[in-house]
Amino acid sequence: MIATSDAAKRLAKRKRADAMFRLACLVAAFLGVVILVLFIYKIIADGISRLNWNFVTDKLSSRPGRTGIWPAVAGSLYVTGLTILIAVPTGIAAAVYLEEFNTRKNRVTEFIQLNIANLAGVPSIVYGMLGLAVFVRWMALKQSVLSGGLTMSLLILPMVIIVTQEALRAVPRGFRDGSLALGSSYWQAIRYQVLPSAAPGIFTGIILSLSRAVGETAPLIVVGAAAYVAGAPKNLGDTYTVLPIKIFDWAGEAKHGFNEDAATAILVLMMALLVLNSAAIYLRARARLRR
């Protein structure tokens, strides 16, 4: 009798521990959401009052509360556009080489693969130093939009390769075999069968990589993006600034009353990212429907 009540007590204790553990896990999982909500609330509360169309289209000014951000927006668009032009084709081609042309895993591909995984873990600021030494000084591109775009391209290239490889891997083997059996070449099979069916996955991954590039700040500071420029860049050799650098600059100058402007700029940046991310989610959902 005593033994059974002991066992019952032990069982009750174990069940209590189980319930506590479950609660701890639940709290931890919801904490992220709570923080996200606090984040968004704080930024809206600080920045909404300054948000209007003129803020986006006006020039930079040294007077808090009177400034616009157009040169920074244009700079961000310029750098991102260059990154798309450079990193996307290179990344897709590299992934096609690793997944499609080199199906027999040999030493070279294995080495490249390991190398890409390592590059993805290199701190972004180190890419900035690479860009500073190679593009800004050695190639004498100076503190131009072009050297910013090139640096950013190198930074997101490993990510573009990895996401494209994942999308290519999800294409069933039969698509390639079927095409090859009908007499197509490898490249024709890739061009007309594999790439089109992997396209939604590739786009999703690339959009997510780009949204990382849009928010990236540190490497561009190192390659010399300015904190202040008179106007939007007009060609590849012009000096520039980008939205995250402006946010960094204003947040750091809080004493001078720029923190509201920083919050408003964050709102603009986050809205741009939200559009990008929604596009990615939409593409992913549509790809799932088709399957």
Partner 1 sequence: MARFHSSKGLRTISEWTVKRFCFICAAVSIVTTIGIIFVLVSQSIPFFRTVSPVDFFTGTDWSPTPEPGKFGVIPLIYGTVMITIGAGLIAVPLGLLSAIFLSEYAPSWLRNFLKPALELLAGIPTVVFGYFGLFFVTPLLRHVIPAIQSSNALSGAIVVGIMILPLVSSLCEDAISAVPRSLREGAYGLGATKMEVTTKIVIPGALSGVMASFILALSRALGETMAVTLAAGSNPILTFNPAKAIETMTAYIVSTSKGDAGVGTVRYNSIFAVGFTLFVFTMMMNMIALRLVKKFRQVYS
Residues numbered 120-179 forming contacts with partner 1, rule: CB under 8 A: 121-130, 132-134, 137, 154, 157-158, 161
> Measured from the CB of residue 102, what is the shortest distance to partner 1 in angstroms?
8
Q: Rule CB under 8 A: say whether 207 interacts with partner 1.
A: no
User: Taking CB under 8 A as the criterion, which residues in 47-66 touch partner 1?
Assistant: none
Structure tokens at 248: 């960094």
Decide whether 14 or 234 has the Cβ nearer to partner 1: 14
Q: Which of 10, 21, 192, 237 binds partner 1 (CB under 8 A)?
A: 21
- Residues 25-34: contacts with CB within 8 Å, 24+ apart? none
- Residues 122-125: contacts with CB within 8 Å, 24+ apart? 124/155, 124/216, 124/218, 124/219, 125/218, 125/219, 125/222
**What are the angstrom distances between the C-alpha of 214 and each of 85, 185, 208, 244, 263?**
14, 38, 10, 8, 17
Contact mark string toward partner 1, 267..286, x via CB under 8 A? --xx--x---x---x-----
Cβ atoms of 151 and 219 closer than 8 Å = yes
> Measured from the CB of residue 25, what is the shortest distance to partner 1 in angstroms?
4
> Measured from the CB of residue 270, what is the shortest distance to partner 1 in angstroms?
7
Q: Rule CB under 8 A: say whether 218 interacts with partner 1.
A: yes
Angle at 105 between CA 102 and CA 111, to 5 degrees: 95
> Measured from the CB of residue 74, what is the shortest distance to partner 1 in angstroms?
18
